[in-house]
Each structure stands twice: as structure tokens, then as C-alpha cells.
Structure 1
Amino acid sequence: MTVHIAVVLVRQDTCRRFWPSHDYPRLRTTGQQIERRLGLVVTARADGTAARAPGRGEIEKARRQGQEPASVELARAVRAASVTAGGLTGFVAALGAGGYRVEVRRAPSGDPLGYKVARPGDLTVAGEPVFYSGSKLAPDLSLPRLTQAWESAARGSGASVSSSGARRRVQVARAAVGSARRGRAGEDADGIVQATGTVVAALRGWSGELESAADMFDRAARVPRGVRVQEGDLAAGLRRVARHLLRQRRGQGPVDEPGAASLALALAVSSLVREIAAWHQDRGRAHQAAAARDSASLIAGWVGERTVDGLRPPAALNHTVATHGPRPDHNVRREPAAAGAREAVRTQIAAVGSAARSSRNGAVDVVGPGRGLGHEVDFSPATGATRRTGRSEVLNLPAQSRSASGTGSPR
């Protein structure tokens, strides 16, 4: 015998039929209330920042072909193209250069409304390309959001960014997030958080560890739905830094070992990401805070593993080497450098590793325009003041406070 049960939800107050909507977020809110009442660990709320997971059919197809899911690859390619491009035309050209097929949807007036992209070789049974719209890949990859990011990056000075200038921009942004945590008026910290996502994504090509760090920070770069974000000058500067990194990385080729300036920049990014983790934690965004902390630890660990007793020419960035006086004649035999000079260089490089290890508890700034074998490698702890050394002004920003430990899973 089969028993069929028909259930209709009816409101108790009006006795009218009720159709539930958004019941899962409401269930999560109710669960948090129960956790607080019983003194349990309060888990993170559903804030709409989780990445879209590939569907089962997409996963099975990728497994048969021995590839990663198409949406994952496309999201990475679209994000990289959006950083290097300054507008829709360059964006489409960058994706086309990578072999991806892009179609732009336009209004009758000719204004762009959206776009869709397909991976080469990803076809339906009928032989048609499988397209994904930008908003389906990630919320921040829709055309309106990309247009907003391009307009933000176009603000301010159009001058090229040097390696030391990129590091200073990152340090100033970190100080701004710290000021926002203390309630001081300034630029919108969530705007800086969004722009930091492009910087971390630009580090992806340096190594597999940084690729994992970029994947982890992807969720931390998203703000909960309903939160209005305004990007100011600091966020625009970070987007220009990310564009600079990707362009230089594309022209440099594979990277075996980074130079000292590359390590300094990566360590500064790690400090910024850790400050962002504290910002999220202060606002109860447990998922984003955990993602940012894990990303910062990976970046700092990558720096620590590559701290060597010596220097190699920077390859990951276009590090401008300051030259003073005439170019040396390499045909003339010279005496080796003094032992004291070599020891000073070793001490400076060791400071990078020490700072990377200490960044697990609190960030240490890497600042100052020193010189070691022709590279900018003067690293000193932050003093909280502005000083002028050599030919450039350097901002010594306050050391980052310890991030509060958070709860919840980054998933």
C-alpha cells in the first residue's frame, strides 16, 4: 500500500496559503540565533559570496576530457584579460589572443549590454560552442562590474608603475584598511578589498603556491550582497599595479627564482591581505576572513621558501635598477666586493625571510630604497614615520596588528 501525503503551508495568522522564498538564507539566520542562545560557536551566515560551483554535467565532461571544468578556466582567463585591458575592445582582444571565443551582446543603439565566452574545443553534441556569460562565471565578472573596474583604473595618473612604487601603493592601501578598522574616516575599505583581488590574481603566474593563494582570496575579494562599494584613488592605484604586474609577467617568460624586489612586493601584498582578513573578521564575515588568512599565509610562506643567501636579478617584475655613473666596462677585471658589502646584502635578504615568518602573527613592512648588487633591497621594520633616504621618499607604515582569529569555514 502506498501512502501519499499532500502538504500545503498555511499562515497561522491569516490561514492563507504561503509560498516560501529565500528559505535557505532565513534558515541560516535562525541557526545563528540558536547557536548564540545555546552558547555554541556561531557559524558564518550565507552572504552570497561563494563562487559558483561547476555543474555535475560539466564536471563529468571535464573528467572524461582530462581537463579542468570549463567555467573554472574561463573565469581565470576572463579575470586576467579584464586586468590587462583598459576597456571592452582590449578585453575582447586579450581573450581572442588566448584562443577564447567572445561574443558581445549589444542594444539596438549599439551600446554593449553583456558578453559570453567559450573555451576552444568545448562543443555541444550539435557542434556548437558552449558559452558562459560573465555573470555566470562570477558576480564580479559581469560587464557592468568590469566597466566599473576599468573606469576606476583609468582615474589618476597614467604614469607607469615601478616596482618600488607598486610596493608603496600596497603599503599605503594596507594602512588605509587599518585606519578604517579603527573607525577613522577615509577611503572605502571594501573598495580596496575588491581592488586587492586583482593584485593577488596578478601574482598567479609566479608559482603554483601563489595560484592557490589567488584562488583562496577570490572569495575574500567579494563583499556580501547588499553592500555598496565605492572605489577611490587607492583602489584605482592597486588596479594599475595589477595591470603592471600582468603586463610585465607576460613579457618576462617563466620565472625560476624571484629577485629581492619581487619578494618585497609579495610580502607587502601578504601584509595587505592579512589586514583585509582582520577587516572582514571585525564585520562578522567569517568566510571571507578565513579565505584571506589562508591566502596571506600561502604568500608569506612562498616568500620564506625563496629567501636565499644571495641575490638574483628580478625576473617576475620590471624592476627598475637605479644606475649611478657610467655603465661599467665588463672587460676590465675588478677586485671582488668587500666581505663587509657581501655580508650586508646577506643580512638584507635574510630580513625578507624573517619578515615572512613573522607575518603569521603580525605583518612587518618591507620599505626603503637601499641597494644591494644594484637592486632595491633595503628592508627595515616599520617605524610609523615618513623619512627620506637617497633619492626617493619612503613611507614607513605602522606594523599590522594581529588579526583576530575567526570562526567558520572558507567554503
Structure 2
Amino acid sequence: MIAKVMRGQDTLGLLRYLYGPGRANEHTDPHLVAAWRALGVPDPGRDPDADLSVLARRLDRFVRPEVRRHVWHCAVRVAPTDRPLTDTEWDHVARKIAAAGGVAPLGDDRGCRWVALRHDGAESHHIHLLATLARQDDTNPDIHNDALRLRDACRALEDALGLRPTSASNNTSAPSPTRGETEKAHRQGLDRPSRAVLERLARRAAVASRTEQEFLDAVRSTGALVRLRETGQGGPAAGYALALPGDTAPDGGPVWFSGTALAPDLSLPRVRDRFAGAPAAPAPLPAAGPWGQAATAVGELSEHWDGAGQGVRAAGAAALGDVLTAAAVAAPSHVRQVLQGADRDWSHAGRPPVGTARAAVAVRMREAARALSAAAPKGQAPVGELAVRQALQALAGAAEQVTAWYRSCSWEPQERSARLAAEALRAAVGGDGAQPTLNFTM
């Protein structure tokens, strides 16, 4: 959840915009979900006889004529992958945000007047808070450091409502698609913005590769455009950027995204780190195949977890994400949806806010991920169900260990991400006496 604050000076003008169609018809079904008082606030989105100018005058009732930029405007948006909230939930969100921003502290009936309008769309669920910066006791509201307080409020709301954690203060969050990117994808009839598509393409290519050249070739094989940032001295490239064919900027050129703009661990130096210790050629598969290799490698992480230091644990958590990514691609059809969900949930959990150490167990897990990736094109071939189940059990157990570690370190975004993935995996194979949600035939 992201809250962005803007300031203005035209209450009626902003109301007209918020109740209108928007610049790109993105304002779907605008209506009030909350206001400074429960009754008597007109809602032009639900009452055709309601007058916007009347609502504006009521909001401006305590604004002094000499005050400029008296409009406090806060847009609150959930991630495109989050579920749509109900009006009741948005009412709760609006009141928490108004309180955190300092315009209407909870329980203070003399705070600023404000309203919250809901907008919905296929890829955009959000509200707009409009408040006038004049308390009803003729004093000024305390909005100092409102952005910091809003960030804390958003993180608390994410946890309370089960939403995707965003913008962690330790700089481990992946950049979310912007509003413009999301609306552009919607206009073009696309399921996901280009940034999200490219992040997934780059991650799968990195997981499957042993060298930088393999990585670049794998990305190009998907049809994505690749541009390297050269150093100018004939040395290795300093970075890379990706673009989707047909995704153009106003000047007609491709819309490029650097690796860092996709995710912190997809920068070129971080991608290169994945290849450390990787064999030049794949080792022979064990009798149990790639799924058995994955179960063994992940089980080794769990076996040595308690005695591992933070650096080794961080390396293991990142490598565990690689195994999940590869498994989600190679999985048989009855398991694929669960693993794809766990892979999405795990994303932030693979980026703990500590440095990684060189760890043999992480190298072996990444080699297992490469073996799974190599098996992915043969997805229709018979797969040993026992090996798949054992791999899921190992993944669930390791994910629970990582979750407990993050909880003990108070790394909340990573902890929640790991917990969601662990719960999905454990539910799939059965745990604590529960029946598995997937049927395995052995």
C-alpha cells in the first residue's frame, strides 16, 4: 500500500476532477467511502442531486481567506496483485490515513474536514483523501513529517488487511509498477505492466543460467530487447536494460528498464553473483531426477540452518527463491498454480537486509534450480510424484525456518513474504494434521 501526498488550493476543482472520468477514463465508479462526519455529507457519486459546490463549501468552512495551498490531497493505492478492498475496509483505511497524516486524529471531533473517494479499475484500486488544512477549532493541524507517519500507517494496514508489503525502509523492496505503467497496460488490454513482465523474464533467465552470456541469451530468446551499458574501456558491461517490443515511449523509442528498476537482486552485479561456484556444465542428475535433487539440496539447508551464520542464511534464503522460481515453471499442472503463488509470495523474502556469504549449500540449491529449469520444456513428460511431494515438503520446511529467522530479526516485510509462501506450501502437502490441498498419486 502506497500513500502519496500532494498540496493544492482549489477544493472545488479537485472535487470535479475526482468525480470526473479522469485523464484516461481511469476513474471508475467514484463515490464516497468515508468523511469527517457519518451523516449529512453529500456524495455526487451516489446522489445525482448532490451539488459539488455545496460539498466544496462545507469542506472549506473553516479555511481562512489568506491561507494558500490549503488542500491536502492523499492518494492511497494497493498493489495491482492485491485483492480489491470493500468499502468498509477503505473506510477503515481512510480514517487511519487521515489520523496518521495529522488532519483528523482519531477521536478528535474538531479535526480538519475531509472526504475519501474510491476509484476502481481492472488494475487500479485506490482512494483519494481530500482534506482542508483548517481545524474546526480555528487552529492549524500538525502535518509535520506526514509522509513518514503515513509510511508507518501503510505498513500496519498491509499487515492488518493481508496486503503485499511495500517500500521497506531497508531498500530491499522491488519497485512497483507506477500508476502510469498500470493504466497504460490496462488501455492496451494487457494483463500486467511491462515492468512486471520483464522482472519475471529476467528472474527466470537468471535462475536457469550459469554464465552472464547464458543469462543475456536466455532473455533475448524470450523476444525481449536487451541493451548493455558499456564502461567505455573495453571491460565488462556495467549494467543492462530490458524492453518489450511494442512498448514505446512518447518519442517512439522502447521503454527501457534497468535491472535495478526491476528488482534489487536483478542488477547485473547481483546477477553475476548467482554464477559464483556454478559448474561449467550440468552434473549428471540423481536417480530421483531434478525434483529429487531439489529436495536433497533444500533439505541440506534445513539440516544446517540452526548452526548457520547470518550470511549463510541470507544466501540460503536467496537460493531458496531460485528453487521456487524454477519449480513453478517445471511443475506438473496439478502443482503449478500453488508453486507460482508461493514464488510470487516469496519475492521479498529472497532479499534479506544483510549481506550474503559464499555458501556451498546455496551453490547446490542453485544448481538444483538450473536442473529444474532445464526440465521445464519437458513439462508434459512423466514426473515422479513422490519426488515432487518430497520437494514441496522440503521447500515448506525451509520456508518456515526462514520465516522464524526473519521474525526474530523484526524484518517485517521479509517475514510476511516468507510466511505467506510457507503457508501455501504447507497447505499443499498437508501439515499439523490438515489434509493436503493437492492430491498426489504415488
Superposed pair shares fold, TM > 0.5:
yes
In structure 1, the partner of 2:74 is none
Match of 2:322 among 198, 211, 218: 198
State the Cα distance separating 1:160 from its structure 2 match.
3.3
Deviations 1:322-381 (A, max 9, x none): xxxxxxxxxxxxxxxxxxxxxxxxxxxxxxxxxxxxxxxxxxxxxxxxxxxxxxxxxxxx
Match of 2:437 among 305, 321, 326: 305
- Secondary structure, aligned partner of 2:241: strand
Matches of 1:84 and 1:170 in 2, distance apart? 17
Q: Is 1:75–2:199 an aligned residue pair? A: yes
- Alpha-carbon distance change, 24 to 248 in structure 1, aligned in 2, over 3 angstroms: same
Matches of 1:123 and 1:221 in 2, distance apart? 31
* CA RMSD, 1 decimal: 3.1
- Alpha-carbon distance change, 152 to 64 in structure 1, aligned in 2, over 3 angstroms: farther
Q: Is 1:288–2:420 an aligned residue pair? A: no
- Secondary structure, aligned partner of 1:104: strand
Structure 2's unaligned 5+ residue stretches are 1-64, 71-143, 157-166, 430-435
Matches of 1:25 and 1:93 in 2, distance apart? 45
In structure 1, the partner of 2:401 is 275
Deviations 1:353-411 (A, max 9, x none): xxxxxxxxxxxxxxxxxxxxxxxxxxxxxxxxxxxxxxxxxxxxxxxxxxxxxxxxxxx
- Secondary structure, aligned partner of 2:171: coil
Matches of 1:58 and 1:158 in 2, distance apart? 39
In structure 2, the partner of 1:234 is 361
State the Cα distance separating 1:305 from its structure 2 match.
2.8
In structure 1, the partner of 2:172 is 49
Q: Is the 8 A contact 1:161 1:241 kept in 2?
A: no
Q: Is 1:2–2:126 an aligned residue pair? A: no
State the Cα distance separating 1:46 from its structure 2 match.
2.9
Matches of 2:184 and 2:207 in 1, distance apart? 29
In structure 2, the partner of 1:209 is 338
- Secondary structure, aligned partner of 2:307: helix
State the Cα distance separating 1:229 from its structure 2 match.
1.7
Matches of 2:266 and 2:370 in 1, distance apart? 16
Q: Is the 8 A contact 1:152 1:232 kept in 2?
A: no
State the Cα distance separating 1:5 from its structure 2 match.
8.5
In structure 1, the partner of 2:121 is none
Q: Is 1:170–2:305 an aligned residue pair? A: no
- Secondary structure, aligned partner of 2:67: coil
The ranges of structure 1 where at least 4 consecutive aligned residues each deviate by more than 4 angstroms after the TM superposition are 25-29, 254-258
Deviations 1:56-96 (A, max 9, x none): 11000011112111111110100000111222211111111
Q: Is the 8 A contact 2:282 2:371 kept in 1?
A: no
Identity value in percent: 27
State the Cα distance separating 1:300 from its structure 2 match.
2.6
Q: Is 1:87–2:211 an aligned residue pair? A: yes
State the Cα distance separating 1:27 from its structure 2 match.
8.1
State the Cα distance separating 1:298 from its structure 2 match.
1.1
- Larger RCO: 1 or 2 (CA < 8 Å, sep 6+): 1
Alignment of structure 1 residues 6-405 onto 2, 5 Å: 24=148, 46-67=169-190, 68-110=192-234, 111-154=236-279, 159-162=283-286, 163=289, 164-180=292-308, 188-205=312-329, 206=331, 207-224=336-353, 227-250=354-377, 252-254=378-380, 259-303=385-429, 304-308=436-440, 310-311=441-442
> Where is the strand percentage greater, Structure 1 or Structure 2?
2
Matches of 1:45 and 1:120 in 2, distance apart? 32
- Secondary structure, aligned partner of 2:240: strand
Q: TM-score, normalised by structure 2?
A: 0.57
Matches of 1:302 and 1:124 in 2, distance apart? 43
State the Cα distance separating 1:292 from its structure 2 match.
0.9
Matches of 2:282 and 2:327 in 1, distance apart? 22
Q: Is the 8 A contact 2:224 2:243 kept in 1?
A: yes
- Alpha-carbon distance change, 127 to 256 in structure 1, aligned in 2, over 3 angstroms: farther
Q: Is the 8 A contact 2:311 2:355 kept in 1?
A: no
- Secondary structure, aligned partner of 2:173: coil
Deviations 1:153-192 (A, max 9, x none): 349x952343333322111101222333xxxx69721111
Q: Is the 8 A contact 2:173 2:264 kept in 1?
A: no
Q: Is the 8 A contact 1:28 1:46 kept in 2?
A: no
Q: Is the 8 A contact 2:207 2:325 kept in 1?
A: no
Structure 1's unaligned 5+ residue stretches are 7-19, 33-43, 312-411
Q: Which amino acid aligns with 1:295?
A: A
Q: How many residue pairs align between the two structures?
A: 277
- Alpha-carbon distance change, 257 to 151 in structure 1, aligned in 2, over 3 angstroms: closer
Q: Which amino acid aligns with 2:358?
A: E
